[in-house]
Amino acid sequence: MGQDPAAIIAASVAELKARVADAAAARFGFALKTTEFPWSCDYYLKTGEMMPADGIAQLRPFDAIYLGAVGWPKTVPDSVSLHGLLLPIRKAFRQYANIRPHRLLKGVEGPLKAGGFDILCIRENTEGEYSGAGGRVHQGTPDEVAVETAIFTRAGVERILRFGFESAMRRRRKLTSVTKSNAQKYSMVFWDEVTDQLAKEYPEVEVTHTHIDAMAAKMVMAPESLDVIVASNLFGDILTDLGAAIQGGLGFAASANICPDRSAPSMFEPVHGSAPDIAGKNIANPIAAIWSVAMMLDHLGEKAAAEAILTAIEAATATGVGTRPGSHSTDAITTAVLTALEA
């Protein structure tokens, strides 16, 4: 013990990011200036906080943040570690668009018999069911009641839906708005109304309203029918883990937390957590982390480098590297991608 898997992962992910980004930078002739922050559960155990009081201010000047997974539930409850680092960063920097691509990379065998889907999931990232509003009364007694309040603002709902419509316009022009308006008659009926209003501005986009339960089923039964999905914080969270599953597992799921107006840094991270059970064993799949580097470079304007990384990832997976759990070490997969990238 005494070692924080989250820190280990963060460190190795940071190293990985450096290696991949440096290789891309060398090939495409740009330079990245990076600073590392050791904020983690380990840091919490030493200081009592997940990041310094001025952590947000320290991060603000950067163009982008790359986050190694965080969490070490054995000693720091997730509710502490995430509310002290990941979630405040998303909120403080108005990273309201959490973007997660789901498709099968070449050579990867997913759990579904079906293949051939290409989904872009856009998750609201700053409010809704994860607003952090609520409370408990009569705590510890038989009369205890806990409430958790989802808060949806028009500003918040409109901007994420607009982001979704704009994304759909750049893709196959199909947008599925996911709610649960048949059972949540305030928040989700509101979301549906805003969707219908915005839809008028985007007549070229084919809009479908789907309930979260039906949507979960559809991701498994007919993923090829989906293009862009827009969903609330919680629903997007669930659907993107499901998206990760159908694309072969969390080892393949990359993500970007975007502040679209660029008034603050955006943040890039694999969807997976710190995976304490396998941390430090050199068996974690680094592809989600590398794909997230590509998303970061794309956001920074280095589109050719981003595409080259994705091509390199698929050059590796197409030959079977990293496509089955345990078949290759973290290092071996990274090396295969780097080799392809430098080629």
Ligand X SMILES: CC(C)[C@H](C(=O)O)[C@@H](O)C(=O)O
C-beta of 239: minimal distance to its own copies in Å? Answer: 8
Angle at 179 between CA 200 and CA 249, to 5 degrees: 115
Q: How far is CA 247 from CA 38, 161, 208, 250, 269, in A?
A: 31, 24, 23, 8, 17
79 binds, among ligand X, its own copies, none (CB under 5 to 8 A by kind): its own copies
Which phi and psi (to 5°) does residue 273 adopt? -90, -160
Nearest alpha-carbon partner for 27 in 37, 36, 19: 19
Interaction between residue 182 and ligand X (CB under 6 A): yes
If the CB atoms of residues 12 and 98 are measured against ligand X, the closer one turns out to be 98
> Is 82 among the residues that bind ligand X (CB under 6 A)?
yes
- Which DSSP string corresponds to 226-263? --EEEE-HHHHHHHHHHHHHHTT-GGG-EEEEE-TT-S
Contact of residue 10 among ligand X, its own copies, none (CB under 5-8 Å per partner type) = none
Q: Are 269 and 255 in contact (CB under 8 A)?
A: yes
Task: Candidates 1-9, 233-241, 280-288, 302-310: pick the segment binding its own copies (CB under 8 A).
Answer: 233-241
Q: Please pick, from the candidates 2, 48, 143, 170, the single residue that binds its own copies as defined by CB under 8 A.
A: 143
Q: Any contact of residue 99 with ligand X (CB under 6 A)?
A: no
Q: Identify what 129 binds: ligand X, its own copies, none; CB under 5 to 8 Å per kind.
A: its own copies
Q: How far is CA 319 from CA 23, 66, 336, in A?
A: 21, 28, 10
| Contact with ligand X (CB under 6 A) among 151, 183, 217, 222 | 183
Could you say which of its own copies, ligand X, none residue 244 binds, taking C-beta under 5 to 8 angstroms by partner kind?
its own copies
- Piece of 26-34, 108-116, 160-168, 288-296 that binds its own copies (CB under 8 A): 108-116
The least CB distance from residue 96 to its own copies, in Å, is 16
The DSSP string of 283-308 is -S--HHHHHHHHHHHHHTT-HHHHHH
C-alpha 271/C-alpha 261 separation (Å) is 23
Contact 163, 231 (CB under 8 A): no
Contact residues for ligand X, defined by CB under 6 A: 82, 182-183, 213, 237, 271
Contact residues for its own copies, defined by CB under 8 A: 71, 77-79, 82-83, 87, 111-114, 129-130, 132, 134-136, 141-155, 180-191, 212-214, 216-218, 220-221, 233-234, 237-242, 244-246, 249-250
